[in-house]
A and B are shown apart, each in its own frame.
Chain A
Amino acid sequence: MTMLPATTRKKLGLLIDLDICVGCHACAVACKEWNAGGFSGPLPDEDPYGAKPDGVWFNRVHSFELDALGTQPASTLHFPRSCLHCETPACVSVCPTGASYKREADGIVLIDADKCIGCKLCSWACPFGAREYSPSEGVMKKCTLCVDRIYNEHIPEAQRQPACVQACPTRARSFGDFADPDSEVSVRSRERDGQLLMPELDYKPVNRYLPPRQKQAMCSTAEDESVNPSELPSALRWLDKILSR
């Protein structure tokens, strides 16, 4: 059924630190590599070596430029976009076949590829572009939070986390249970004011994004040649006074 569970025992999700993400796309590539097989495989590419390559990816890294605001200098912002495993995912409730579902045990949103008819309505219902269509199979695909890794007893315990988290070279991504207020992701999210995306739509995303930290106030730029004498050491202030005559 595509009815949503009233609540889930766990709320597994990702905490993504936009302050330290360098936009290297390692998470996207690792995701593509792992998910090309297993639960959600294959992840087909159309025309992979041709003029217009296209393919299904669960994770896309956007780069933006933020204009200067007040004391905050202009900066770049790298933003990995993937499924947020929302608490009220409309992608699930619009599904006419019951192929989409949200697990009561851990809150992961999945697609049963054997039931999907490829009507694409779920992708229209997702504000975050998390669901993509696979033309070669005629079904929808989405992030599984690496459900075939995190419970996989055939791999070492330290590796039982999503491929994107494992691959991140700057540790900008962490994985955990947001239902547990003492989990590492919950604590860090609280400390750094973790943000929900598009809260006005009320999808209640589980994943949280840590916004960039406040930067130091802008220092004077090369073009700016005015000097404030009161900030100079006394010897230089004296020299400035002599030379300014």
Chain B
Amino acid sequence: MHPALSVIFFSTLSGAGYGLWFWWASSFLGHHRDFGTRDYFTLALGAVLVISGLLSSTLHLGRKERAWRAFSQWRSSWLSREGVVAMLCFIPACALVFVPHAGMLQKVLAVSLMLLSMATVFCTAKIYHCLKTVPAWRHSTVIPVFLLSSLFTGGLWLAAIFAIWTFAPVLALFAMVLLWLMTRYWRHNDRPLAVTRSSALGLPEPRSVNVFEQPHTEANYITKEMVHVLARKHGERLRELCRLLGFALPLIACLGAWLLHQPWLYSVAAVSGMLGVFIGRWLFFAEAKHVVSLYY
């Protein structure tokens, strides 16, 4: 698949923003506390990540001025549902600004922000997971990877802002689970397509079929968008980079921050984790095989 940078930026940035909002909102459930400067900063950083992601997702649209129409088909389309839930998140997020004192209302708003944030990331994952045309994306790890990546990167940012020592083991656990899930997904992705060319051509018995002549001499929309082959050349190298930047380095940095009481190490972990997740997301698109490639 063609890895559209706008979509990769969207899912990485917004994912981190929603994850940050989730953890931040959850902090109001445990203890009774009022807003401090860091709370406003966290809320704003989440908003910057989410909004820049949402804006970048509209960059690849052919008709940006009609983007509002995408809120209409929530009954059938995961993309539409994602748009609706992404907008709904702003209601509790904005309302929380006006409820800085601990209380029941604050807790209710916090819980709604947590639920809506994760619902948005779930919808994003479902957009890809529901496509039967890209068999790799049907794998059971796709939705957990989207959700956990969001919680992982968001958690790194929260730890960086609040310098929470006790959060390090949780983040380390997330890094390890994510690494395991990603490895399982990659192994699944490396398998050849289950659909055969004979099935794509309507041949009743499986035959060995080779391309003799293509319908067009130059690349067309279908080959440029769906028959992308660049990634598989450098796939192994990029996977290593994703493991290193996304998980190994943040893991070490978190443990360092925890044991040495050096909160700035969390920021290193957050930036590195985001880069790793970005590479992982690029591979998610670039390496995925679409069944239309059977015709080419």
Contacts and interface: CB of A to CB of B under 8 A. Distances in A.
Given A90-B132, A129-B226, A98 B69 contact: yes
A82 to B, nearest CB: 11
B288 to A, nearest CB: 10
A117 B73 contact: no
B202 A197 contact: yes
Contact of A127 (B83, B205, B215, B291): B291
A133 interface: yes
B173 interface: no
A26 to B, nearest CB: 13
A62 B215 contact: yes
Interface in A179-232: 193, 195-203, 208-209, 211-212
A215 to B, nearest CB: 12
A150 interface: no
B201 A64 contact: yes
Contacts of B205: 69
Interface stretch (A73-81, A155-163, A166-174): A73-81
Interface stretch (B44-52, B55-63, B102-110, B160-168): B55-63
Given A96-B77, A125-B133, A196 B295 contact: no
A95 B71 CA distance: 11
Nearest to A136: B62
Contacts of B120: none
Contact of A98 (B67, B73, B212): B73
Contact of B77 (A76, A94, A132, A193): A94
B62 A2 contact: no
Contacts of B69: 96-99, 115, 117
Interface residues of B, number: 57
Interface in B55-108: 60-64, 66-67, 69-73, 75-80, 83
Main secondary structure of the interface of A (DSSP, over half): loop
Interface in B110-133: 127, 130-133
Contacts of A128: 292
B204 A127 contact: no
A66 interface: yes
A3 B292 CA distance: 24
Interface residues of A, number: 70
Contact of B61 (A66, A98, A119, A126): A119
Given A60-B215, A63-B212, A129 B201 contact: no
A129 B295 contact: yes
Contacts of A53: 218
Interface in B200-244: 200-205, 207-216, 218-222, 225-226
A97 B215 contact: no
A146 to B, nearest CB: 20
A72 B190 CA distance: 33
Interface centre among B64, B73, B200 (most CB of A within 10 A): B73
8 contacts: A1-B73, A2-B76, A60-B216, A60-B220, A116-B62, A123-B226, A129-B292, A200-B194
A-B CB proximity, top 7 nearest: A118-B62, A138-B62, A195-B202, A209-B202, A60-B215, A97-B69, A96-B80
Interface of A: 1-4, 18, 23, 25, 28, 52-57, 60-67, 69, 76-77, 79, 81, 90, 93-99, 115-121, 123-129, 132-135, 137-139, 193, 195-203, 208-209, 211-212
Given A1-B75, A62-B215, A123-B226, 13 more contacts: A2-B77, A64-B197, A77-B203, A93-B76, A94-B131, A99-B69, A115-B69, A117-B64, A127-B292, A133-B221, A139-B63, A195-B204, A197-B201
